[in-house]
Structure 1
Amino acid sequence: MTTTADDASHAKDPAPAQDAGVRFPFPPSDETEEAARHAVLRATDHLLALQHTEGWWESVFSTDVSYDAHDLFLRRLLGTLDERVATGSGRWIRSLQSADGSWPLVFDGAGHLGTTIQAYVALRLAGDRPDEEHMLRCAAWVREQGGVPASQLTARVWLAMFGLWSWDDLPEIPPEIIALPKWAPMNIYSFSAIMRLALVSLGIISEHRPVRPVPFGIDELFVPSDGPVRAPAPAPADGWERAFRHLNTAVRACRRGSPRAVRRTATNACVRWLLEHQETDGSWGACTPMTTWVVLALHLQGYPSDHPALKAAWDFLEDGAAWTEDGARKLLTVHSPVWDTCLTTTALLDAGLPAGHPALVKAADWLLTRQTDRPGDWSVRRPHLAPGGWSFQFHNQNYPDNDDTAEVVLALRRVAHPDQARVDDAVSRGVRWSLGMQSEDGGWGAFDADNTSTLPGRLPFFDFGEYCVDPPTADITAHVVEMLAAMGMQRDPRTRRAVRWLLDRQEDSGAWYGRWGVNHVYGTGCVLPALVAAGVPRDHPAVRRAVTWLTSVQNTDGGWGEDWRSYADPAYLGRGPSVPSQTAWALLALLAAGEHDGAAVRSGVRWLTERQTDQGTWEEPQFTGTLVPRAVAVHYGHYRHVFPLMALGRYVRRERPGAEAAGPEEADGA
């Protein structure tokens, strides 16, 4: 079982925050600031107590139950599903069913058809009968949504492997795609890092077309032939759409006529690529969903269960399961220690913990061990760039990302470390790597540079559309800009290009889109502190428009929230019940914009202080993180701890972040 900082063994309980050296530079001006100070001290104590003895922090990273279902599917296909795992996983999946019979993507959200179908089949594998009340409700809900034919592609791929859907009705994923040169428009590196791993694995799986029938059918999940069918709306059939549909038909027709030697060579090349990308912890991409696909692919290719690659992968998958006290088995999608640790370090520094505090030095020591030291997939587009980034997880050399790298550098440079030369060297390598990963348009994506092709999203392989690639985004670009400004590079031409990129992408409302967090509150919360830090004056029109938008969407209770549905429905932009992390993001933006004494900030601070728990943190069941907009949401267990502390810490310290204001021309990115 994996342990995290919430249940791992910790260092000796720290002294209260005041004893640890937290001091405030000013006397409190009123009751609001006094309450905020007490909240800062309690939150600091809480976070210090959660630190692992090795120096890192981590809380549970959660997604919807589809990945728990995938784990059961894999074990069933490989013949390793035992009663204990089936019962425990079934208990967990069952516990998250909504009253209408469906399963949502987010806490308290609407049902999602693909996730619900996968949860239903997983419960059948766990022994649930179709005539049980919760299963009847589920089946009725699925039929109301159009049944299995209307579901997302991933669900139907798994159903095909159980003989519950036809492989002939799925898109072809030719393994020969591995042979396309790196300059070709549709090579595997045209896809995002996550999609790339799935694509290569599915190329092998699609070649074998496994069918391992289960001892039950799912007719109850299909709409009767005389009933209405609600199929998903097809994509617009423009020239490219028509071309790819014809191409898929041609690939299927050629499949049987392709020489076996050619197909065998292609699948073997896919296997070699996958084996080259296995991490030291046995995973692929350091996440369970991708590892699940690869394990199945290798099994179909004939790799025995005792092969070192599969043994290591199984160890990773077993370690990714957490058992609750009532016997439920929950799959942990991915570990987030680097992200959680750098954010915690920044939050504690914002709270006023001395820069040389032992907890911060220990965190810095651990972060220094996580810096990547060899090329990964990013080097395909940047072959001459030296490594130096950080990834999200414990072990992930192939896929460091710009977001983690920026936040780690921001944290490390503020710690008073006894070996400053070591820190400076790591920071220098991280900054150099980030600068080398800037895309041609001036922004930064997550894992790759210039991963902007529109073609992969038009292929029928996935139904994630434009999110099959990894273009620059406002939130990540903002974090890199903030890092560069902290390094004194406000006037560097590369920083100015990025500032211009951000200013050009402000929406008419005054907000910025949030790719990796929900949604415009997150995007705006990232961008405003970065712009001000980079020298954009607080009276710049873009800053004032953003402030106006944030204050306009503040809830009457003083907090902020944005519903996950905002990715699909503009009516939810900036709208939703108040949530601690989202309230903190709005406060961080407003504080950076100079709104410390404004009514909106004071109301937001009061909302946070009044809702702090006795343990010194905040309750937050909502999903405020994003992996794939509209498709995969994330609940970051650590967000409720760190972001409110950041906001309150900056509020009580009355910080005025930002470099000396640039001139108007520089602020415009010229």
Structure 2
Amino acid sequence: MTVAIETGTAQQALERGVERLLALQHPDGWWKGELETNVTIEAEDLFLRHHLGLLDRVSDATARWIRSRQREDGSWATFYGGPAELSTTVEAYVALRLAGDPADAEHMRRAATLVRDTGGLAATRVFTRMWLSLLGLWSWNAVPVLPPEQVLLPARVPLSIHSFGCWARQTVVALSVVSALRPVTPVSFSIDELRGGPAPEAEEDAWGRVFHGLDRALHRYERRPIRPLRRRALRAAERWIVDRQEADGSWGGIQPPWVWSIVALGALGYPIDHPVIQRALGGLDEFTIEDELGRRIEACQSPVWDTALAVIALLDAGLDPGHHAVVSGAEWLAGREVRVRGDWSVKRPSLPPGGFPFEFANDNYPDVDDTAEVVLALRRAAVGLDAADRAVDWVLGMQSKGGGWAAFDVDNTSSLPGRLPFCDFGEVTDPPSVDVTAHVLEMLALEGRARSNEARQGIDYVLREQTREGSWFGRWGANHVYGTGAAVPALVACGLGGHESVTRAIWWLGRIQNEDGGFGEDLRSYRDDAWRGRGASTASQTAWALLALHAAGENGPVTQRAVRWLADTQQPDGAWDEPYHTGTGFPGDFYVSYHLYRQVFPVSALGRIAGGGLGTR
């Protein structure tokens, strides 16, 4: 269905957006936007390099970036425009002290005052206090214990490492080594100015008391572990870590297990010139961006995801499947197929591999979300069809009980890992989500399998998860606008365009549209329902809403105003500005600004609305 904007501005915006997107393609065929998070990534990089004796050459440029993110009240936040966050502020402060900023500097005094006023060091998350312990600023005795013996537990035992989501699993194994060996590289300063009163006592239910009792017992065990068992566990953890290093030097292509694996292997005696450590440090350099703003680290990189979305966007815009940009992007995607077994095979030992990763190199952890989008791109581009066939089979084999799909694992839904005192830093399991399931359903519809048993179970799951007001929770994007923008096109593709759930979703979108015509949702909605569908308009979130509106056949004022907002806010070079974080790592705790989202999603939305208006150019 085509939306008529009186001066053709939608078509003009589409043309400029496509030109900009084409200009961002790498000569090898892929796209990758910067993946921006928060300053804990840079702070922890300085902590690691202090520990390794490599601080001097990077501290000034990194400190410049960290300072540039500080706000007027002295704090740092976890997302653009968000509230002050205590642990993030403490890590930023300590990193600046490492870089040489004096405690009595005005910006440091403001930060220290905020830290004291919001609880002080004792109120920070466990992750932060573990970093402080590494620096000699906190005691390892005062953080929860992660025994390396955990790696010896069979996969089906509660609280085995396979009870955790893949990102937490990799971090837990590395941290269990560090927890046992307790390395310390002291800094030359104290941070007594950050100490407030005692941390407030949190109310605990029965399970909370059980797990805190378990932690006390583990602390007693740490004083006298069973030596043969401890040696065996450390050897097993070492093998587990080394075996899972990726070709690019990373662990899982993400920062937390990467940096802690380096610390763990160093504690086990690996020298800095060991090939494993050198690969790890070289890989971190590839995740580093340095420009006039300073030096910053990408917590992850998203080339497969970005490229799949870019190919789909160009096809939505009407480019011919034979266009060079489409073909080269699709061919690069086909070459990223994972043909080896990873941790997912513990639950699916007989399932042949065939997924796609998020990153350049992450063979151990392909994910369902990327794989579904890659299949959509390959099918529409008519490239890599054998790889697409294998990918569909792999995705079907990764369906969880209840009909939904998760990102990396199957039935990874235990509530026990999140009860551990250590796990106060975000999601540690990988249950099914509506957004991933919706992308799979779109893939199955394109495959002609919308009536399959797997699709019917997936549809039932999505319908069950709709909120009372008509939206869907977004696990990997912010938040109900993302979930709804994924669910509605999927349901329509599967033949449910007239279903009352679609009608309710479109009503909800109309109700939350901003006065300026755009859509936005603040990330505080993950903790406070009052923020659902509320926030400053952004290009990516407006495009998500338009994808749902268009799929449902909505051609009225809501759609018209949203298209107008995209056209009016586009920059002369065809880009959209979007300082806000609209991607989600851990709901409520860790967020992402995907710099390519502001380009690919508006191009997709405008392309579909304009009827693929670029023709066969």
TM-score normalised by L of structure 2: 0.97
Query: Which residue number corresponds to residue 229 of structure 2?
Result: 262
Whether 1:425 aligns to 2:364 is no
How many residue pairs get aligned? The number is 613
Matched ranges for 1:518-533 at <5 A: 518-533=478-493
| 2:55 matches 1:81 | yes
In 2, the alpha carbon distance for the partners of 1:140 and 1:186 equals 39
Task: Describe the SS at the equivalent of 1:413.
Answer: helix
**Further displaced range: 338-347 or 243-252:** 243-252
Query: How far did residue 264 of structure 1 move?
Result: 1.6
Deviations 1:551-596 (A, max 9, x none): 000001101000010001111000011111000001101111110x
Higher RCO structure (Cα 8 Å, ≥6 apart): 2
Cα distance between partner residues in 2 of 1:29 and 1:446: 38
CA contact (8 A) 2:52 2:272 kept: no
Following the alignment from structure 2 to structure 1, what is the Cα–Cα distance between the partners of residues 11 and 192? 60
Q: Secondary structure at the match of 1:516?
A: coil
Cα distance in 1 for partners of 2:167, 2:242 equals: 16
CA distance in structure 2 between the aligned counterparts of 1:367 and 1:573, rounded to whole angstroms: 35
1:236 alignment partner, one of 200, 204, 212: 204
1:135 pairs with one of 108, 117, 120: 108
- Report the alpha carbon displacement of residue 376 of structure 1 after superposing the two structures with TM: 0.4
- Mapped pair 1:160 → 2:133: yes
Within 5 A, what are the aligned runs for 1:189-588? 189-223=162-196, 231=199, 234=202, 236-238=204-206, 240-325=207-292, 328-417=294-383, 423-464=384-425, 467-536=427-496, 538-588=497-547
| Alpha-carbon contact 1:58-1:336 (below 8 Å) kept | yes
Q: 2:572 pairs with 611, 614, 618, which one?
A: 614
Distance 1:484 1:563 in 2: 32
Aligned CA distance change for structure 1 residues 176 and 535 (closer, same or farther; 3 Å):
same
Supply the distance in 1 between the matched residues of 2:573 and 2:129 (Cα, whole angstroms). Answer: 45
Q: Deviations over 1:246-265 (max 9, x none)?
A: 11111111122223222121
Q: For the residues of structure 1 that align with 2:30 and 2:253, how far apart are their CA atoms?
A: 17
The corresponding residue for 1:95 is: 68
1:631 maps to which of 589, 598, 604: 589
The verdict on how the C-alpha distance between 1:169 and 1:104 changes in structure 2, with shifts beyond 3 A counting, is: same
Deviations 1:616-648 (A, max 9, x none): 110000000000011110000000010011111
Q: TM-score, normalised by structure 1?
A: 0.90
Q: Aligned partners of 2:200 and 2:442: how far apart in 1?
A: 41
Deviation, 1:211, is: 2.1
**Aligned pairs (5 A) from 1:628-667:** 628-653=586-611
Q: Is 1:560–1:576's contact at 8 Å kept on the other side of the alignment?
A: yes
Instruction: Spell out, residue by residue over 1:192-214, the C-alpha distance to the aligned partner (whole angstroms, 9 max, x if none).
Output: 00000110001000001122221
Within a 5 Å distance, the mapping from 1:28-39 to structure 2 comes to: 29-31=4-6, 34-39=8-13
Contact kept, 8 Å, 1:457 with 1:464, in 2: the verdict is no
Gapped regions of structure 2 (runs ≥ 5):
none
Residue 187 (structure 1) aligned to one of 160, 177, 180: 160
Contact 1:584 1:647 in 2 (8 A): yes
Per the alignment, residue 21 of structure 1 pairs with none
Q: Secondary structure at the match of 2:262?
A: helix
Distance (Å, rounded) in 2 between the aligned partners of 1:30 and 1:38: 10
Return the offset for 1:382.
0.4
Asked if 2 retains the 8 angstrom alpha-carbon contact of 1:512 and 1:524, the reply is: yes
Distance 1:585 1:236 in 2: 39
Following TM superposition, by how much is the alpha carbon of 1:492 offset from its aligned partner in structure 2, in angstroms? 0.3
Query: 2:533 and 2:195 mapped to 1: Cα distance?
Result: 37
Matches within 5 A, 1:102-117: 102-117=75-90
User: Aligned partners of 1:248 and 1:285: how far apart in 2?
Assistant: 28
- 1:144 maps to what in 2? 117
Task: Report if aligned partners of 1:351, 1:646 keep a CA contact under 8 Å in 2.
Answer: yes
What letter matches 1:649 in structure 2?
Answer: G
1:464 positional shift: 3.8
1:514–1:521 CA contact under 8 A, matched in 2: yes
Q: Which amino acid aligns with 2:181?
A: H
Letter of the aligned partner of 2:202 in structure 1?
A: P
Q: CA 1:593 to 1:232, structure 2 compared with 1: closer, same or farther past 3 Å?
A: farther
1:511–1:232 distance in 2 versus 1, CA, 3 Å = farther
**1:601–1:654 Cα change, 3 Å:** farther
Three-state SS of the structure 2 residue aligned to 1:31 is coil
What's the counterpart of residue 603 of structure 1? 561
Partner of 2:25: 51
Amino acid at match of 2:187: V
Q: Secondary structure at the match of 1:443?
A: coil
> Displacement, 1:233?
6.1
Aligned to 1:584, the other structure's residue is in SS state helix
CA contact (8 A) 1:288 1:320 kept: no
Q: 1: distance between equivalents of 2:5 and 2:473?
A: 35
Residue type matched to 1:208 in 2? L
- Using the alignment, how far apart are the partners of 1:563 and 1:232 within structure 2? 28
Moved more, 285-294 or 364-373: 285-294
Distance in structure 2 (CA, Å) of the matches to 1:641 and 1:358: 19
Q: Distance in 2 between matches of 1:408 and 1:654?
A: 20
- For residues 239-296 of structure 1, give each alpha carbon's deviation from its aligned partner in whole angstroms, at most 9, with x where no partner exists: x222211111111111222232221211111010011101011110112332111000
- Determine if contact 1:625/1:635 at 8 Å carries over to the other structure: yes
- State the distance in 2 between where 1:105 and 1:200 align: 25
SS of equivalent to 2:296? strand
Alignment of 1:7-46 (within 5 A): 29-31=4-6, 34-46=8-20
Q: Is the 8 A contact 2:127 2:425 kept in 1?
A: no
Deviations 1:84-140 (A, max 9, x none): 301111111111001100000011211110010000000000000000000000000
Alpha-carbon deviations, 1:475-532, whole Å to 9, x = none? 0000001100110001001100100000011011100000100100000000000001
- Do the aligned partners of 1:481 and 1:499 also contact (CA within 8 Å) in 2? yes
User: Per-residue deviation at 1:370?
Assistant: 0.4
CA contact (8 A) 1:70 1:289 kept: no
Could you say what secondary structure the match of 1:626 adopts?
Answer: strand
Cα 1:233–1:437 shift into 2, 3 Å: farther
- Residues in 2 aligned to 1:653 and 1:151: alpha-carbon distance in whole angstroms: 51
Q: Calculate percent identity across the aligned residue pairs.
A: 51
> 1:334, CA displacement in angstroms?
1.3
